[in-house]
Chain A
């Protein structure tokens, strides 16, 4: 059963520490998204990639966040240094876009819950 895999599931860290979250998209999917979910803001897009190229990272605080896709099977989201306001659940999602018969739905991982003390 194909699924998006995220690690770690839970992370507790102290302010100022570096945090790296990883995502393995579904094999063959060419778009990868990072979303952040908080009670106050709901689901916010942080960044997304198509064919490993970053297309939009306007939702990310550039001074501390970075997102990369070193290869087609791995996407990373890094926070350095982390701050308490970064506490949230971070979701990775992948999809096939809307070309051809594809209709743009995204498949979500189970999320990485980050707590910054």
Chain B
């Protein structure tokens, strides 16, 4: 069965420091992978996605993620964190259903706090 693990529940970084949020997935085929961000009281916003091709993908707000098949990982990175990046981040894998999109299976999320 497909699953997503985000090992870090809560991470605190200083503003201007680099960030890496970890995500490991379990999926039998080539996965569709996503990172979403959720600010308090808001819905989820797509940061970036991977479905094929270049394993380093760029997203919005200066985020990037690298797909590593050998490690079943899709870690999210940002070279310099801004205070406005404080939010909860969700990694997700797209589950196929009959050859097309099924639902997205989400990790439990990582809450990011940013220190001034």
Interface residues, chain A, with chain B CB atoms under 8 Å away: 4, 31, 33, 42-43, 45, 48, 50, 55-56, 91, 93, 95-99, 102-111
Contacts and interface: CB of A to CB of B under 8 A. Distances in A.
B45 interface: yes
Q: Which of A31, A50, A103, A111 has the most CB of B within 10 A?
A: A103
B103 A56 contact: yes
Contacts of A42: 106-109
Interface of B: 32, 34, 36, 41-46, 49, 51, 90, 94, 96-97, 100-109
Contacts of B104: 33, 104, 106
A8 B49 CA distance: 30
Given A43-B90, A110-B43, A105 B100 contact: no
Given A43-B106, A109-B43, A103 B97 contact: no
21 contacts: A33-B104, A42-B107, A42-B108, A43-B106, A43-B109, A50-B100, A55-B97, A56-B97, A91-B43, A91-B44, A96-B101, A98-B32, A98-B101, A104-B51, A105-B49, A106-B104, A107-B46, A109-B43, A110-B41, A110-B43, A111-B42
Contacts of B32: 98, 103-104
A48 B103 contact: yes
A10 to B, nearest CB: 10
Contacts, number: 63
Given A43-B90, A98-B96, A104-B94, A56 B102 contact: yes
B43 A108 contact: yes
Which 5 A-B residue pairs are closest in the complex by CB-CB distance?
A108-B43, A97-B101, A43-B106, A104-B94, A98-B101
Contact of B49 (A4, A97, A103): A103
Contacts of A111: 42-43
Contacts of A93: 44
B5 to A, nearest CB: 12
Contacts of A109: 43
Contacts of A110: 41-43
A77 B43 CA distance: 17
Q: Which of B34, B100, B103, B109 has the most CB of A within 10 A?
A: B103
